[in-house]
Amino acid sequence: MKLRFDTLRVKLFLAIAGANVVLVAAAYLIYGWSFEQGLGDYLQKSEAARLDPAVTRLAEDYRQHGSWEWLTDDGRRAWMQLLREELGRSRNSRDGREGHEGRDETPRDERGRAPPPPPPLTMDPRLMLLDADGEVLIGGGALGAMGERSTEPVRRPVTVDGRTVGYLAYVPRLQVVESLERVFSAEQNRRFGAIAVGLLAAVLVNAALIAHWLSRRLNALSAGAAALAQGRYATRLDVHGDDELERLAGDFNRLAGTLETAQRARQQWIADIAHELRTPLAALRAEIEALEDGVRPLTRAGMTSLAQETSRLTRLVEDLRTLSLSDLGTLTYHKERVSLAEVVEDCLASQRAAIHDTPLAIETRLDAQLRVNADTDRLTQVFGNLLQNTLRYTDAPARLRITLDAADGEAVLRWEDSAPGVPPQDLPRLTDRLYRVDSSRARSSGGSGLGLAIVAAIVQAHEGRITAEASPLGGLGWVLRLPLAAGTTYT
C-alpha cells in the first residue's frame, strides 16, 4: 500500500517525532559540551591542587639555601628529583617518610610488602620554575614545543616570609597534547551518541503509537459522520473516558440522537398532516357522492355542511402555510408601538358572539399603560387562538381570567381558564405541531393541533416567550412575556 503523507496519522507521526528528535539532538549537544567543559575545569583544578606540596617544598628549600642556585647549578638533576619526590608519590607515602624521626610508616600487606606507588603525573615537561621577575630558570620545554600556539602558563607563587621569590608555572594539560583525558572525552561522546540513538528509536516508536492511537479514534468519528451523512441516524460511538476526544464522541452521539428525533418527528408530521387533510376531504367526498347519487337532496343544510368542511380544510391549509412561512423566516411582520391591553380587548370584542354562545365568563385586569413593539394582526391571531382553545376545551360553567402586568422590563400576560386541566407531563408539548392531549377527542370539538404551534412561533418572532402551566381556576394557564417598548413606564 502506498504511503500517503497527507493523512492525519503521518502528520501526527512527523510532528511528534520531529519535535522529539530536536530535543534529543539538543540534549546530546548540550550534554557533550557541558561534559567537556566540566572535564577541563576538573583537570585544571586537580592539577593545581597536586602542585601544592611542590610549592611548599620549593619555599622550604629556598629558605634553606637563600637562592635558586642550588637548582640551576645542578643541571636539572635536583629539579627532577624534587618533582619525582613531590609528584610521583602519594601524600600518605610522603607523610610516612617524613614523620616520626624518618621511620617509614607506609601501610604494608600480610607479607610486609609495601603497595606499589601510584603512577607519577605526566606533567614534568610542562612544569617550569620562574624567578621573581618571571624569567624561566628551569623547564619550559613544552612552551617551545607548542610554538605559536603557546599561551601564558599558569603561575603558582612561591612565597618566603611574605615575599614572592619565584613561581612554579605549568602549561595547562589540554593545551599541549591530545592526552588521555581527551581520549576519555571522545569515548564519552560515543557513549552519549549511542544513548541518543536509543532515545531516537524510542521516540520514533512512541510517535508511531501515539499517531496510531489518535488516528484510530478520529477514524471512528469520521466513520460515524459518514454514516450520519447517509441518513443512518441510529449510529452511536462508544464513549470511554472523559478526555476531549471522548467528549467530542459524546457530542456526536447527542447530535445523532437529535437528528434521529427530528427524523421521527418529520415522519410523524407527514403522517399527521395526511390524516388531517384526509378527514375533511373524506367528508366532502361523501357529501358530494351522496348528492350525485340522489341519496341526499340538494338542500340548504347540505350546502351548509359542505361549506363547513371546506372552511375547515381552508383553515388547516392556511395554518400549514403560516407555519411553513415562519420556519422559512418569511412570515411578514409590521411592528409598531401598540397597547397590549387594547389588542386583547379588541380580540375579545370580535369574538363576542362565540363567547356568548359558550357561555364564557371573562375577568380582565389589564394595565393600559404597557406598550410593546408588535404586529397588531399577528398578536390578534395569538389571542384568537388562545381564546378558541379555551372555548373548545373548558367545561360549563366556563371561566377565563386575563391579567397584564410588567416585571423585569417585560409585559407579562397571564391567560387562565377553568377545568378541565392538562396533565403536568403534557404541558411542555402543547405547542408541538399536531399534538393533542386526548387523541380520541372528536374533530367537531377539537382543532387541527396547529393553533398553539402558531402562537409559539409568533411570540418567538416578537422576541418573547410563552409557557404553559396549571391554572389556579383548575384548567390551563398560559404565561406570555414580551419585551416592553423603549420609554414605557410602569409601576
Rounded to an integer, what distance in angstroms lies between the CA atom of residue 4 and that of residue 321? 53
User: What is the residue-wise DSSP string for 382-447?
Assistant: HHHHHHHHHHHH-PSSEEEEEEEEEETTEEEEEEEEESS---GGGGGGTTSTT--S-TTS-TTTS-
Residue 274 has, within 13 A of its CA and on its CB side, a CA count of 6
What are the tens digits of pLDDT across the range 334-376?
A: 999 999 999 999 999 999 999 998 899 999 999 999 999 999 9
Cell triple for 24: 534529543
Place of cell 402562537: 455
Mean pLDDT of the region 243-258: 85
What are the tens digits of pLDDT across the range 177-208?
A: 445 556 666 777 777 778 778 777 877 787 77
Rounded to an integer, what distance in angstroms lies between the CA atom of residue 309 and that of residue 313? 6
What is each CA distance from 93 to 86, 114, 278, 283, 341, in whole angstroms?
Answer: 10, 10, 121, 129, 117
What are the tens digits of pLDDT across the range 273-327?
A: 777 778 778 878 888 888 888 888 888 877 887 887 788 788 778 888 888 888 8
Place of cell 377545568: 419
Cell triple for 162: 611574605
CATH for the stretch 244-325: 1.10.287.130
414 touches 477 (CB < 8 A): yes
Q: Which CATH number fits domain 332-483: 3.30.950.10, 3.30.1330.20, 3.30.565.10, 3.20.20.70?
A: 3.30.565.10
Q: What are phi and psi of 185, to 5 degrees?
A: -60, -40
For the purposes of burial, counting CB atoms within 10 Å of the CB of 441, is it exposed (0-12), middle (13-18) or buried (19 or more)? middle
**Greater pLDDT, 72 or 376:** 376
Rounded to an integer, what distance in angstroms lies between the CA atom of residue 185 and that of residue 35? 8
Mean pLDDT of the region 451-455: 91
Residue among 128, 131, 129, 127 nearest 165 (CA): 131
pLDDT of residue 39: 62
pLDDT of residue 38: 67
86 touches 98 (CB < 8 A): no
Cell triple for 45: 583544578
Rounded to an integer, what distance in angstroms lies between the CA atom of residue 354 and that of residue 336? 29
Cell triple for 479: 404565561
Cell triple for 405: 402586568
Mean pLDDT of the chain: 79
pLDDT of residue 122: 47
- For 389, residues 6+ apart whose C-beta sits below 8 A from its C-beta are 447, 451, 452, 476
In this predicted structure, the answer to whether residue 491 has a pLDDT above a threshold of 80 is no
**What is the Cα gyration radius of the chain?**
53
User: Is the N-terminal amide bond of 172 cis, ω within 30° of 0?
Assistant: no
User: What is the residue-wise DSSP string for 336-395?
Assistant: EEEEHHHHHHHHHHHTHHHHHHTTEEEEEEE-TT-EEEE-HHHHHHHHHHHHHHHHHH-P
Mean pLDDT of the region 377-394: 93
Neighbouring CB atoms inside 10 A of 468's CB total 20
Residue ranges of domains in the chain: 51-100+120-177, 244-325, 332-483
What SS3 state is found at 178?
coil
Beta strands in 218-370 (DSSP E): 336-339, 360-366
Rounded to an integer, what distance in angstroms lies between the CA atom of residue 270 and that of residue 407? 40
* Kind of pairing between the strands at 398-407 and 360-366: parallel
Cell triple for 62: 629556598
Using alpha carbons only, what angle is made at residue 51 by residues 138 and 79, rounded to the nearest 5 degrees? Answer: 30
What are the tens digits of pLDDT across the range 116-160?
A: 554 444 456 678 888 888 888 887 665 554 444 445 788 889 998
Rounded to an integer, what distance in angstroms lies between the CA atom of residue 413 and that of residue 345? 13
Rounded to an integer, what distance in angstroms lies between the CA atom of residue 24 and that of residue 11? 20
What are the tens digits of pLDDT across the range 394-410?
A: 999 999 999 999 999 99
State the virtual CA torsion across 350, 354, 359, 363 in degrees, nearest 10.
Answer: -20
**Greater pLDDT, 471 or 113:** 471
